[in-house]
Structure 1
């Protein structure tokens, strides 16, 4: 936008300057020519007054320009010049200005006792254009300076408009990424300030609606506790102990799921959290390593030295790692090794979980799909976790045939960005 405004101002300024400077340049040339012709006429008049006197030849010699006097008897005084048609016309008693090779000639006639005397004063092209090129050069420099000044001013004004617009674009991208705390700083022209205020109002309204939706989901989930309690009582009243234990276990699992829904619904997902990915991954791998040891699985762990901050909450990242490792244990036979690698990458971190099992079924790549009786939401949880930080998730097959899940997690944005 800045370039377009600068181009528009340059074109407009150029048109205006051309409309002003071209007539001014022509006027300067006309003034220079008129000045030269006036000086030539004055020289001719100074010689004219000496016609008919003995001082005519002396007057011709004192004129500081080429002057020729054509006498009635055919003789000439002063600079030699041809007797042109203009000279013959002036001999009839008329004053004539005519074009001549290399300039112009000013012809003035005067009467003497022997007849008509014609005085010719020659004005060269150099004298006619004296000072014109210098004046035109000054006008051209002035025009270029005005164009450059106009472009600089237009660029400053465009920057005052585009900077707030760029800020609005950045805030809108942050809102689209889930950062509902992002707000635009009103600035620039009144129209841009109005858009910024409207965007801030929209962001606040979206936050309110999401908060209301989360509360509604939490309330709805909370209402399920009453029938769950009744279902638990019914399970405990069963006479078959094994059947009662089986139904009770299902009720416990359902109650844990409802509790997780309530917790997730009340979580303030609009706030962009961050955590140390190295610490979280290290802790979750240590937790799953106990089960891996029981199943005879070899675990390979590669973690970077020091902290590795990512734009994901600690609980979300822990749930993501648990989901990926849980998939390994759920969909691969015992004694199948797996590896967890966390590495630094430009702008974030890369988390790779791979195993030497049979690989992924295509149904696992869809939300809710499952190839082994699970809910099928593990990969979806990992995908949402990665995308919430601005990253991504990819699933591929290892060269030896196992599954490879790779998450790209972005670093937290700096405050005020």
Structure 2
């Protein structure tokens, strides 16, 4: 991985020319894949893919999945379809795929994400499966995954402001980048969007003669008596709630259901939908940490939640989930946060201003472009929050353990998927 990372001066350089060149040298594995469901969006892409995979596997299908970024091990990005459930690619097979792509690339400039994506295509082309779930890395139009000419479906999860230095500084521009995965005559399934983003997506679907299945228009998902109720023109499904916590997970599950219901190729019964929605797992998305090395350092009896949210919209849905928890059982809330330097810390933290005044800013380990805790603390103070800094999550938890809480606190660790990955590794609970 270190060797491949050195092939390009920049980690992110949005351009499809290098990808097309390498795929040609690999004899176009992207043309030998099982049918592809392509998923873009700002937030919720990974969770939507988790639901898609769980439902399809519950229906007895073999599902390849390529997602990013990983939390602890790069193997998490590559899941190979098997009867009865997929498996993460093993070290030897992944090393072989990356080395094969490295030889084909012959030292030419290429980003690490591009060569990883090429390796995913090459791997998936070697293994039979019924469907490939393909998550966009960044944006859509010039993302390395956007080389599939005719996917089975184009899916767009919620669009919001993020990565403005690459995608543009308006919601319309960002939505245009995401909507560019919509292909001619391929059905597009869309989550509920802000009006300006929705207008762009509708224009692209019309331009591509793609049938558009939009949340709130063509399908609806609601929470009724704690259950997920989905409805479209084919009828209504009353399903158990997702295991993944938060109201937003009902919406992500609804997007997955809408996608599969829009595709005639799959015949999925209600039992498979329910099993998939209930059993889907996606680490570091409002994940409760009940035990582990880090948990042992926290105040006795506390709750610890982990979420990789890192933009304003991600913070909003996590804050809403915390509000639901507070309604069930009231506890003092502490937010331990670490962010990357290119993120809008103020917009993210503003979501928690009405829930807590206690913020602990920490450094993300081994990330040179992480936001310094002092800068993060300044953003919290500007919102009227009480803030302290600690060297890391472990130090923050030990600091809290020394305080005298009448009620054990609820602790949220958030701000970055990189921080979340570090926490899972340090806690001894890496994703499987």
Confirm or deny a common fold (TM above 0.5): no
Larger relative CO (CA 8 A, sep 6+): 1 or 2? 2
TM norm structure 2: 0.20
Q: Which has the higher helix share?
A: 1
